[in-house]
Structure 1
Amino acid sequence: MASKAWGGRFGERTDRRVERFTESISFDRRLFEQDVRASTAHAEMLAHVGLITADECQQIVRGLSEIKAEIEAGTFEYTLEREDVHMHIEAALIDRLGDVGRKLHTARSRNDQVATDVKLWARDGLDRIDANLAELQRAFVGAAERHRDVILPGYTHLQRAQPVLAPHYFLAYVEKLARDRDRVADCRKRLNVLPLGAAALAGTTLPIDRNHVAEALGFASVAANSMDVSSDRDFAVESVFVLTLIAEHLAGWAEEWVLWSTQEFSFLALPDAYCTGSSIMPQKKNPDVLELIRGRSARVIGSLNTLLVLIKGLPLAYNRDLQEDKEPLFDAFDTVEACLELAAVIVAGATLRADVIASRLDEGFLDATTLMEYLIKEGVPQRSAHEVIGHLVGLCVRQGCKRLADLPDEEFPKAHPSLGAGVKDVLGVANAIKAFQSYGSTAPAEVEKQLAAWKTRLA
């Protein structure tokens, strides 16, 4: 079975298989709100410059509003013949208004219409992502306040390295998310340029006012080159790149908390509402949500790869390949938004097991670097001090001491004359924490400043 092609150029009807192959209404229908918003602004501009009358504009705007209400109510009918959401809305308007509805497409093409709608959708999406990032930041700040006095082992190579305050640890994620928010803002700035008015690729001979539309839709400026804007999907690729970095940050955090919630670590109690059980082992409490957050980063990375390959080698200006940009764009936004929403409530509901952490805090010689820097303050070169403390750690291992402080007092001056009575003041994780001084470190005073600053910024 075949159907009628769009427009008057064709002498035979479009094959049904082509309709099925080329349709995008199955996924681009979610652009309906943006399409109505952009079409309304376009109609108002056409009236502003005299290409349609004020009465025609009112009819069009009212008709678009009615169509939007039908779509929202679920009563709007979709068909393959009308291909995409843009043609559905325009055809429905023509069904209502006849020739008045046919005037809506004056001075625009589906090329610039689609680009405008997708930009509006992505801009809305970036705003939601930013709000979700801020909510997750607030959750981490809340966790920092709840665990203000907890000392954690810090890791490099997943080996115990130095002690850190728990608020310092939580604020590390706040900083990562701040960079993500900066990238979202930068991406939004480059995205916020109006394509509408480029028409198919060369612009239009009609006396339109693109700045009028830009102002109505909240765009900061209008695109300066009609050929570029017809083919530009940089904003889609950049948006998904930003989302990919967010997904990677979430995956790293999820991996860490999966480990910390194991019996082997026992650092973290996850809220029951975000864990699942086993179909066969009744004792299990599995961190499935964290594992899925970690796993779904793969989908976002896949969306980025799809878009990068999609635009590779495309000539100017518009090519139908660009229809394939929407599904990876939509999926990346949907995935990251869902992950951020769940991440915030998990962070807000999780609790560090302070007693378990404290019971094993002396393991791993977390104060070794502090003791090395004590020697440096005494005038010993760093490399020499490193070797001396390394010798003491080795001595502990051979003698079965868990802590440097467990060594006999006489071993310290034997290792180096500068390791006198004052050495005990820097041994142990509590003393090591107090010894930190540098800006941005885990020094208690520095951490308090950073925590106060973030509370103010996120208020």
Structure 2
Amino acid sequence: METTIKFSSLEKSIKIEDNKLWGGRFEKGLDPLMEEFNASLRFDKRLYSADITGSIAYAKALRKCDLLKENELNLIEEGLENIRSEWQTGMFVIKGGDEDIHTANERRLKELIGADIGGKLHTGRSRNDQVSTDMKIWLRDSLKELLKYMLKLIEVIIKRSLQYTDAIMPGYTHLQRAQPVYFSHWLLSFAFMYQQDCERLIAALDRMNVCPLGSGAISGNPFNIDRDFLAKELGFKSCSMNSMHAVGDRDFVAEFHFWSSLTVIHFSKMAEDLLLFSTKEFSFIEISDSFSTGSSLMPQKKNADSLELIRGKSGRIVGNLTAILVVLKGIPSTFNKDLQEDKEGMFDSFDTMKSLIQVITGAIDTLTLNRNKCIEALSSDMLATDIAYYLVRKGVSFRKTHELAGSVVSTAERLGLEIHNLPLNVFKEISEHFDEDIRLLWNFENSVNQYTVKGGTSKASVLQQINFLKDWLKDNTE
């Protein structure tokens, strides 16, 4: 039996789905609720430039295999650049049916150069390989921006460390005073965390720099598209080797979220130290007014809200990591619409990290160190380990010296004296190895400068750390 389709019904269907890249299969339009639920343009429009860049490269590849004429390529390229300009100037008009950035750009291209030529651009291409390409281009450029800010952060820490190479402060373990260290040594401990964060970011950039364009929806491209050309044209080091893997791969997004989470945990750790050091109880540092706020009720308050927000926003970043991992865990292979949830968290983490890096850099660059308060917080019991080392140099085994040093501490506490005020005869009662030269221990500068091995807190070691980071920065700054 012959099937007859009424033209009026078909025309109505086409009108409803006019901007859809998939509308030919359907007779009915989307429910308005589903239209809104399915649309992603409100957030993925940030990919507009990457989408246009990818489309221009794809048009060139179509020309290389004679699926476009030269004049058609020129029209497509000119039209896409005009669309890019419209987005940049805020002149792009979003219309109903523009469900995502790919649909919107293609719809506008057809308006500018005609549907016949504009419609050729999508030949052999799927939104599956298109969106993955767009995201990689956008994220690659964005991560390079974050790397630039991270390098600046390390540069600022180096600068501040050079200013305080002679400032001694208590070092802490378990939040208890442990041993004296240079303030620069404390600062540099975070510089090396951030250096590793940068190296992880550089490695992630290298891993993600593989071009998925030309993979189609799942099975590849039937038109002999030159994928190596596409990769080179878009600045990728290579093209993906399996089309099914390429369209469903979001490991690069998950890795960005992991990097952000680990890095912001380091920020939060530093922020916590700085917050403690800035309290009246410590008063080691003062956070600049530029990175502090006040109380709406208590006029005397100066709150380091910049640091508290760094701590707080770390949870948000980790939450975005959890979200993408749950999405990826729940889907089968290749592309699934769940992957639409990969973008909002990515954009949010990038925006948040960009602010966090600059804020913590500013807070460090403008803080003031109170050297006197740092010195006042030092106490001779922090040299108990030095007493053990003193006895080691006298030929006593370390396990025994540790026990004897502990006896010195407990004796001083029992007598209500600081260790350095104990009489020599009390020391000798504890061990015959103590002599007059024990008095030479009660010098904090001598104490910190005995740690001359690589990585120690001596001034020589601190300068070695700084020179290492300077050389590393030089090698990794374009």
Scaled by the length of structure 1, what TM-score is found? Answer: 0.97
1:56 aligns with 2:84: no
**Contact 1:116/1:194, CA 8 A, preserved across alignment:** yes
How far has the Cα of 1:227 moved from its partner?
Answer: 0.5
- Superposition pairs for residues 264-343 of structure 1, below 5 Å? 264-343=281-360
Task: Give the structure 1 partner of residue 420 of structure 2.
Answer: 405
**Contact 2:165/2:459, CA 8 A, preserved across alignment:** no
Task: Give the structure 2 partner of residue 131 of structure 1.
Answer: 148
Q: Alignment identity in percent? A: 38
Match of 2:83 among 67, 70, 77: 67
1:458 aligns with 2:470: no
**Contact 1:366/1:429, CA 8 A, preserved across alignment:** no
Larger CA deviation: 419-428 vs 106-115: 419-428
**Contact 2:65/2:223, CA 8 A, preserved across alignment:** no
> Any stretches of 5+ residues in structure 2 without a counterpart?
1-11
Secondary structure of the residue aligned to 1:108 is coil
How far has the Cα of 1:359 moved from its partner?
Answer: 2.0
Task: Give the structure 2 partner of residue 358 of structure 1.
Answer: 375
- Superposition pairs for residues 432-447 of structure 1, below 5 Å? 432-447=447-462
- Superposition pairs for residues 170-209 of structure 1, below 5 Å? 170-209=187-226
How far has the Cα of 1:33 moved from its partner?
Answer: 1.0
Aligned residue pairs total 457
How far has the Cα of 1:80 moved from its partner?
Answer: 4.4
**Contact 1:20/1:80, CA 8 A, preserved across alignment:** no
Counterpart residue identity of residue 191, structure 1: M
Match of 1:429 among 419, 444, 449: 444
- Superposition pairs for residues 6-405 of structure 1, below 5 Å? 6=20, 7-98=23-114, 99-362=116-379, 365-402=381-418, 404-405=419-420
Counterpart residue identity of residue 27, structure 2: G
Counterpart residue identity of residue 76, structure 1: F
> Any stretches of 5+ residues in structure 1 without a counterpart?
none
**Contact 1:426/1:435, CA 8 A, preserved across alignment:** no
- For residues 226 and 295 of structure 1, the distance between their equivalents in structure 2, rounded to whole angstroms, comes to 40
- For residues 53 and 170 of structure 1, the distance between their equivalents in structure 2, rounded to whole angstroms, comes to 61
Output one character per residue of 1:296-335: Cα deviation in whole Å (capped at 9) or x when no partner.
Answer: 0000000000000001131121100000110111111111
- For residues 31 and 401 of structure 1, the distance between their equivalents in structure 2, rounded to whole angstroms, comes to 68
Secondary structure of the residue aligned to 1:366 is helix
- For residues 209 and 410 of structure 2, the distance between their equivalents in structure 1, rounded to whole angstroms, comes to 60
- For residues 339 and 188 of structure 1, the distance between their equivalents in structure 2, rounded to whole angstroms, comes to 20
Q: CA RMSD in A?
A: 1.5
Secondary structure of the residue aligned to 2:178 is strand
**Contact 1:362/1:428, CA 8 A, preserved across alignment:** no
- For residues 468 and 265 of structure 2, the distance between their equivalents in structure 1, rounded to whole angstroms, comes to 26
How far has the Cα of 1:110 moved from its partner?
Answer: 0.2
- For residues 413 and 208 of structure 1, the distance between their equivalents in structure 2, rounded to whole angstroms, comes to 87
Scaled by the length of structure 2, what TM-score is found? Answer: 0.93
1:4 aligns with 2:16: yes
Question: Does the C-alpha gap of structure 1 residues 298 and 80 become closer, same or farther in structure 2, counting only changes over 3 Å?
Answer: farther
